[in-house]
A and B are shown apart, each in its own frame.
Chain A
Amino acid sequence: MSAPPEEELPPNITVATRMATFFRGGGIIAPLITVLVAFLAGGLVVLATGHNPIETYSAIFKGTGFNWIFPWLSEDDRIIAALNLQQTLILTTPLILTGLAVAFAFRCGLFNIGGQGQYIIGSIFAVWVGSSFEGMPALLHVLVAMLAGIAMGAVWAGIAGLLKALAGTNEVISTIMLNWIAIWTGVWVFNLGSPLQNDNSDQVDVPVSNDVVEGAKLPVFWGDPQLQGLHLGIFVALAALVVFWVLLNRTTLGYEVRAVGFNPDAAEASGINVRRNYILVMAICGAFAGLGGALDLLGWQFRIATNDIQTHTLAFFGIAVALLGRNTAIGTLLGALLFAGLITGTSVRNLDPTVFEPQLATNLTYMIQGLVVLLISTDVLVVWLLGRRRKRRTAAVAA
């Protein structure tokens, strides 16, 4: 292994290559250190506000519900931990899916920042299908609503893929713009007098959708449905992780995706249709994110209000999840668990206000998320920029 650095990295360094090299070099250590540093920084901030970091993190940990697995817990504590863990796992579902929506794109060398918009589109169509077709058998109704979310999420992201394939449009910009289009379309479509506003006579002035019918709701298998127990969606998310892995590593499509991600020039020269891949990859990412939106809706939201759309930002965590998880299936799972835990652990409902004010704590979560992205993405972004400049140079300052 005496190949010098110049020989080891190809001249057309892509995001996927650099990430792979970086992650190969760092192994599992790199993400662990990233998380550690992020938490340390968070702890310093907590200290600066006059609170005890150890107590705070301990309270947050209790809030996540992960302590439920400890056998020495008392009965009462166990009941509370169960409730907390259900909440955490409810959040893990969309985080896995929006994480996959970003990870799959990264493997192809694409930046999918449109997870939020794709999620929203998915949930809009899920609520529309879920609140219509009253008489449909339950299983069918749930499946059709989920499929609607998947399909339309795919279409939404596919627009960005199409633009990139046909016009070379930068997908970072197009997906972000599509986010905004999705948000404002969503706000409009449930607004007063708009097509999807609810039909209830006592909610004429409320800009909210119809409720999902009972038959279309995802069954709760742990906890009390009245208290927002854990629904079956988590298994769908876990299945999606398997689909992600199989797709990427065992199918010809996944082979093409990885080839294009590592070296689009070699892929092209071998006859792979790079542009077709961009479209397909973005569509698949949108499918994942759209499914996330559908599952949340059918699992516990059951309706959408214009307010919900405007204040929802969960899908953006998907970017941090994917980066932390090194764009792998298992990594996405762990990253999703981490951030779901952080969000529930610092929420008003779960965090002991005598230890740390929940309002402050939510921001702590955002801060840690930002640090994670910063620490990972700085390196990747810089090399991406360098790689693009190197491509444009013609006659070289070279040997």
Chain B
Amino acid sequence: MADAPALELRGITKRFGTLVANHAVDFELRRGEIHALLGENGAGKSTLMNVLYGLHQPDEGQILLNGEPVTIDSPRRAIGLGIGMVHQHFMLVPVMTVAENLVLGAEPRSGPLLDYKAAAARVRELSSKFGLAVDPDAKVQDIGVGTQQRVEILRALFRGAQVLVLDEPTAVLTPQEAQDLFVVLRRLTEEGTSIVFISHKLNEVLDIADRVTVLRRGEKIDTVPTEGATERSLAGLMVGREVLLRVEKPEQKVGEPLLELEHVSATDDRGLPAVNDVSLQVRAGEIVGLAGIDANGQSELIEAIMGLRTPTEGKITVAGHDVTHAGPRETLDAGVSHIAEDRHRRGLVLEFDLAENLCLREYKTPAFSSHGFLSPKKMVARARTLLKEFDVRGGEPETRAGSLSGGNQQKVVIARELSAAPKVIIAAQPTRGLDVGAIEFVHRRLVEERDAGKAVLLVSLELEEIRSLSDRVLVIYEGRIVAELPPESSEEDFGVYMTGGGRG
């Protein structure tokens, strides 16, 4: 079996309910190669590796190690088979030393006590063998991130990993540390380790990997050698074309800017910059698409607009009204509607029935309440009208929102937001998880709103959606608007800007 690949995944399919995270994915890792797994968030890379690591069981497909089929039902089994994983978020105990962390779970003993000397010796042994410099006695909380990562790698090797999976390893490293890591990885392959390198950074993939497999929406698109590939070609594979949903768009009649952002910056939950000096305008009667790969500041930008996050700099205006420091109530009242990207988190109260959900914005208005007392009759009547108008199926006004399908839940959100007669509509991932019929409905409604003179900001990870709906497209990367492109531009053009290329 000397020629068998170190690892082979054949036809792996994994479903979570109706969501197909991986569909018949093939992946082959040769011995001593560095094979990159490329794809956007949600493409299925993490799921695939979690299947490999025993955290999930595949619904279909096979895993073969060195040509032999294996069943991996737990991480323990995976580790036992020589598969080691270095997660994006390290699993180290900060107050313990490097040596203690390394041997966690497989501690050398002298009687009932931990044999610390043996542990430290092991660390030094592995350290010199693989060229990973670490001090066994340093506490993890005192060493830098780059060194912590080396400890994680050493830990996997300590357990006898022959196959090493690294999940977005450079996400937390400086460029120099990343280069140091690559030196280490090359050294490891010389010693016979095979490496899977998960990333969405094209330049690094081209730098370090021998071959690249591109995943998109749970499907394997292609496996190509990095020699001869370019950022452009890889970008095209990553964001490329899928089911064409062309929407009929009448001629545009554009008016005044209704949403204006001037030099807006904001930080994320960890205090790191997420939105960097963004200026944009959405005028009445136009749909502006914001294209970008996940986690490039879109969520924080939307939160800043909606008053859920205070910008650190800049000014946000809605129809002339300054809402920079306004809270959600004021922003909504200023005429903004928000179709949230996470309908379960921000969009709906799943435990409420449909009538209550449809009143989330307006329950205090005279239409539904007087002197602090709700009028359930009015709420139900209004719900009936809206449910019919927006073709929501699967429930009555008294049905609990959580029991509707994703598509119908989204229709409820849209019904509520659009019926508030907004001036500006922020549509974030409006068709996420929806079937074709629902997608078509949503797209049609957004274009109708645009024709009625509303300003629509469409934020989506689906490039095809952006291209088919938008009048103008802005590309966001690392919190900055890096390009404005006409919607007819090619996927490759978009892909380059979306992945940080094409600058300078």
Contact = CB atoms under 8 A, between A and B. Distances in A.
B308 A270 contact: no
Interface string B327-371: 111001100001010101111111110001001110110000100
A381 B340 CA distance: 29
A239 interface: no
Interface residues of A, number: 42
B45 to A, nearest CB: 9
A43 B358 CA distance: 50
A187 B145 CA distance: 55
B405 interface: yes
A265 B345 contact: yes
A399 B44 contact: yes
B168 interface: yes
Contacts of A1: 403
B438 to A, nearest CB: 15
A29 interface: no
A168 interface: no
A76 interface: no
Taking chain B's interface residues, is the majority helix, strand, or loop, or is none over half, making it mixed? loop
Interface in A7-29: 7-12, 16-17, 20-21
Contact of A270 (B171, B295, B361, B403): B361
Contact of A259 (B327, B349, B405): B349
B190 to A, nearest CB: 30
B2 interface: no
Given A269-B306, A269-B308, A395-B168, A12 B44 contact: no
A271 B342 CA distance: 17
Contact of B349 (A4, A263, A395): A263
Q: Which of B171, B218, B361 gathers most chain A CB within 10 Å? A: B361
A10 B347 CA distance: 11
A173 interface: no
Contacts of B185: none
Interface in B3-40: 16-19, 21
Given A266-B349, A397-B50, A259 B360 contact: yes
Contacts of A263: 345, 348-351
B87 interface: yes
B373 A251 contact: yes
Contacts of B356: 255, 259
A268 B351 contact: no
A360 interface: no
B160 to A, nearest CB: 23
B374 A4 contact: no
Nearest to B49: A397
B230 interface: no
Given A4-B17, A11-B342, A262 B360 contact: no
Contacts of A265: 345-346
B484 to A, nearest CB: 29
B42 A399 contact: yes
A258 B349 CA distance: 9
A4 B402 CA distance: 11
A251 B372 contact: yes
Nearest to A270: B360
Contact of A395 (B19, B88, B360): B88
Contacts of B16: 4, 6, 399
Q: Please provide the 10 A-B residue pairs with the shortest distance between their CB atoms, ordered closest to farther.
A: A4-B17, A271-B329, A399-B21, A270-B360, A10-B344, A262-B351, A269-B346, A263-B349, A399-B47, A271-B328
Interface of A: 1-12, 16-17, 20-21, 250-255, 258-259, 262-263, 265-273, 393-399
Given A6-B17, A267-B349, A270-B361, 9 more contacts: A6-B16, A7-B406, A11-B344, A250-B373, A252-B363, A252-B364, A266-B347, A269-B306, A393-B89
9 contacts: A3-B406, A7-B406, A11-B345, A252-B364, A263-B350, A394-B270, A395-B168, A395-B295, A399-B44
